[in-house]
Amino acid sequence: MCDFISWIEKDGETLFLTEKDIMSSYGKEALKDERDNDLIGHGAICKYYTFTGGTEKENKNFWNGDIPKKIINAWNNGELDGMIKYMTSDDIEHVVDNAPIEFLKYIVFCKFEDYEAMKKDNDWCIRLAGMSLTHDYEAMKKNDSWAIRLVGMSVTQDYEAMKKDNGWCIRLAGMSLTHDYEAMKKDDDWCICLIGMLATQDYEAKRPKILLGNH
């Protein structure tokens, strides 16, 4: 596994890596074949300490304190800050979804050190985090990602913009929040139209007339 935080318990010892370890002359040589997030995994720990076996453990929700005291002390002393940059976008997404805000801010800062760069990232979740941390809700509302636009419009309560968005789910949210069921019934999306009819109990169906063609 290559989760942050990973460690191995062996012979009563808690073994893990810090930035000081991997950046040392010995660490660079021992881990020269490891790439990116491999450096935060169990494989790198085994190579560094030159052993096999032991019990591999990890905790992606490490902020809950369910990790060895030795690692807690390393985190609190800043010894793991440099390891954060090896976290993947999936790791960051997990942090965004689950971490307390103070951990989210710090981890994101250590990973990117530039919120403006985050706002231009290819990963929508990272863009959302960057815009949220800088309170750039107007940029959210103009983003290509419907999920980011939805957050921006919801936070600013711009329901009218939601009702005109190209994304059907955003329009549905806007119409629902404003109880605009008549607009739902006229929407081009069949799902929104159906929900509008159900909400107003408009169950009666009228047979449409077929108009004479060119025959």
Close Cβ partners of 181 (under 8 Å, ≥ 6 residues apart): 175, 196, 199, 200
Identify the residue whose tokens are 């169906």. Answer: 205
Same domain, 19 and 82: yes
Mean pLDDT of 147-171: 95
Same domain, 79 and 13: yes
Same domain, 106 and 148: no
Same domain, 78 and 5: yes
Question: Is the residue at 71 inside a domain?
Answer: yes
Same domain, 51 and 71: yes
Q: How far is residue 95's CA from residue 88's CA, in Å, rounded to a whole number?
A: 11
Closest Cα to residue 17, out of 35, 38, 109? 38
Same domain, 80 and 101: no
Same domain, 198 and 171: yes
In this predicted structure, the answer to whether residue 64 has a pLDDT above a threshold of 70 is yes
In this predicted structure, the answer to whether residue 146 has a pLDDT above a threshold of 90 is yes
In this predicted structure, the answer to whether residue 14 has a pLDDT above a threshold of 60 is yes
Question: Is the residue at 215 inside a domain?
Answer: no
Q: Which domain holds residue 114?
A: 93-135
- What is residue 136's predicted lDDT score, i.e. its pLDDT? 94
Average pLDDT of the chain is 90
- What is residue 1's predicted lDDT score, i.e. its pLDDT? 52
Question: What pTM, to 2 d.p., does this model score?
Answer: 0.59
Same domain, 48 and 29: yes
Same domain, 81 and 103: no
Mean pLDDT of 93-121: 85
In this predicted structure, the answer to whether residue 33 has a pLDDT above a threshold of 60 is yes
Same domain, 13 and 78: yes
Same domain, 151 and 125: no
The total domain count for the chain is 3
Question: Is the residue at 214 inside a domain?
Answer: no
